[in-house]
Amino acid sequence: MTAAPTAAAVRPAQPGDVATIAAMLTDAVADDPVAEWLVPDPHERRSIFQGLLSMEVDHAVEWGSVDVLLDMTGVAVWRRHPANDAAVLSDHHLGTFTKRALPRFRQLNALVDSYRSAAPHHWLAWLYVSPRRRGQGIGTALLARQHQVVDQLGHPIDVVVTSEPARDFLHAHGYFAGLPLHLPSSPRLWPLRCAAPPATQPTAPVRIA
């Protein structure tokens, strides 16, 4: 039996990890229903997501937070809102990689943005564990590392997922699902939020007679 990973088994990603992480996530979206809607052709889908994810992960390593398992079989990609002085990924960057698929990516981004709050929060952009390592507590360890940081800031966490198993996994870790989001002729997406922890009330001074 393999022991469940601890926080010590998770480390911050470095710039040199970007290519490996992007390749891992590109494999993950190969048969994702929303990715299939975005780019129906499988060869074009792989090419587009390889470039797009390389850019996104590189940006998150520098300006957000990316955690990986030591053996690179699991990853969590987080972004902060507002992003303070972070460089903005513009429509131009998106169009560079998505080309003729850009209109559908714009539709997806507009739908997700309509759900996201303008208030400070953290955004879970990606959470992935290799199929051969699932059921070993890796997803839980990846969540726990960043939850410790976010809880100290008192911010909620938002995420949108593309499958019911992902929705149910996050629900089991304290995330609450909103109403499904719909794109034209596309599979559903599920928005979820992990509420900020309640603020700690200062203890009133006690007078000792």
pLDDT digits (tens, 9 = 90+) for 94-113: 888 888 999 999 999 889 98
Q: Average pLDDT for residues 90-94, to the nearest whole number? A: 74
In angstroms, rounded to a whole number, what is the distance separating the alpha carbons of residues 73 and 137?
12
- Res. 32 pLDDT band, cuts 50 70 90: very high
In angstroms, rounded to a whole number, what is the distance separating the alpha carbons of residues 56 and 78?
10
DSSP-derived letter for residue 193 is E
Question: With 90 as the cut, is the pLDDT of residue 81 above it?
Answer: no
In angstroms, rounded to a whole number, what is the distance separating the alpha carbons of residues 55 and 85?
18
Q: Does residue 86 or residue 156 have the better pLDDT? A: 156
Question: With 50 as the cut, is the pLDDT of residue 209 above it?
Answer: no
Question: Which domains does the chain carry?
Answer: 7-194 (3.40.630.30)
Question: With 80 as the cut, is the pLDDT of residue 188 above it?
Answer: yes
Angle at 32 between CA 178 and CA 127, to 5 degrees: 65
